[in-house]
Amino acid sequence: MQMAQNGPASEQVRVACIQMEPKVGENAANLARSLELCEEAVRGGAQLLVLPELCNSGYVFETRGEAQAAAEEIPTGAASSSWIAFCRERGVYLVAGICERAGEQLFNSSIVIGPDGYIGTFRKVHLWNRENLFFEPGDLGFPVFHTAIGRIATFICYDGWFPEAYRACALRGADIICIPTNWVPIPGQAEGSPAMATVLAQANAHSNSVYIAAADRVGTERGQPFNGQSVIVSYTGWPLAGPASPDDEEILYADLDLGMARVARNWNDFNPAVA
C-alpha cells in the first residue's frame, strides 16, 4: 500500500458509539437514558454520536399495536425533537435508531441530526424476522448525507448482511457508515473468535474503503439476547475501537480522519481500493 504521496487528510472527528440497553414499552426512560449517555459522550469530546437500533422504543414487540404505540413521527416526535434540541445545544451530530410512524406505516428507521437540526432519515431495507410483521421495508434507498464534518451514510443491523448496502453507500461517496444495530447471536461461533458482525464490518469496510461505526444494544428482552460488541472500523478494515462489552452499556470512542476515506487508496500503482 502506498499512501505517503497522497498526504494525510487533515481533520479529526471524534466518533462515539453509544452501547445502551433500551427497554421495550419504556419510551420516556429510553429517551432519558439516551440523552444521559449522549451527554457523557459529548463530555468525552465526541462530535458524531451513534445510538443503537430502535433505541427510543426497545425491540421485541408482541403486537402491531404495541409497535404503533411506541412509534413517533420524524422529526416532530418526542425522541426526535429532544435529540434535535440536544444536537443544537451541544453542536454535535447524532445518528440514532428510532421507531418511526408515518401515517399508517411504521418503519425501523435511523435519524440523522446535526448542529443545525434535522438532516434526514434512513428506513431499514432488510427487515429481520418478526420485524416483518410490524414494519414496512425501507423506501428511501441508501442515502448519503453531505455534512460539514463529512459524508454520513447510515443503515441498520441486518442491512449489513448484504454487501450491496455497503457498496451503494461507498459508490455514492460515503466517508462513514453509521450502523444503529440490535445484533443477535449467530450460531456456530467458536470460543474466542470474532463475532460475525465484526467480520462483516471489517470485510466490507476494507472492500469499500469506508469507515464503519456500529452501535449495538445489550441485554435480553423477552427472551431475546443481544450481542453488544459495538465496533468502530477504519476504512482499512482494521478495528479502531472495540468490540465493546457483550453485556454492559459502554461508550466507544475513536478519532477518525474522515477525509482519508476519500483519498484514492491505491493499494499499488495499478489498483485503487474499490474499482
- Residues labelled as active-site residues: 53, 124, 157
Contact between 158 and its own copies by CB under 8 A: the answer reads yes
Q: Which stretch binds its own copies (CB under 8 A): 22-30, 64-72, 171-179, 190-198?
A: 190-198
Minimum Å distance from CB 236 to its own copies? 5
Minimum Å distance from CB 101 to its own copies? 22
Q: Hey, how many other C-beta atoms are within 10 angstroms of the C-beta on 202?
A: 19
Minimum Å distance from CB 161 to its own copies? 6
Site for its own copies in 92-111 (CB under 8 A): none
Cβ proximity of 93 and 115 under 8 Å: yes
Minimum Å distance from CB 81 to its own copies? 33
Give the bridge partners for 225, in sequence order. Answer: 220
Contact between 28 and its own copies by CB under 8 A: the answer reads no
Cβ proximity of 52 and 19 under 8 Å: yes
Contact between 209 and its own copies by CB under 8 A: the answer reads no
Contact between 118 and its own copies by CB under 8 A: the answer reads no
**For its own copies, the closer CB: 150 or 237:** 237
Work out which of 6, 63, 105, 189 binds its own copies, going by CB under 8 A.
189
Cell of residue 143, nine digits: 442515502
Radius of gyration of the chain (CA): 18
Contact between 262 and its own copies by CB under 8 A: the answer reads no
**For its own copies, the closer CB: 21 or 159:** 159
Contact between 167 and its own copies by CB under 8 A: the answer reads yes
Contact between 187 and its own copies by CB under 8 A: the answer reads yes
Minimum Å distance from CB 83 to its own copies? 30
Cell of residue 142, nine digits: 441508501
Contact between 34 and its own copies by CB under 8 A: the answer reads no
Site for its own copies in 37-66 (CB under 8 A): none
Write out the residues near its own copies by the rule CB under 8 A. Answer: 1, 126-132, 158, 161-164, 166-167, 186-190, 193-194, 196, 199-200, 202-204, 206-207, 234, 236-239, 267-271
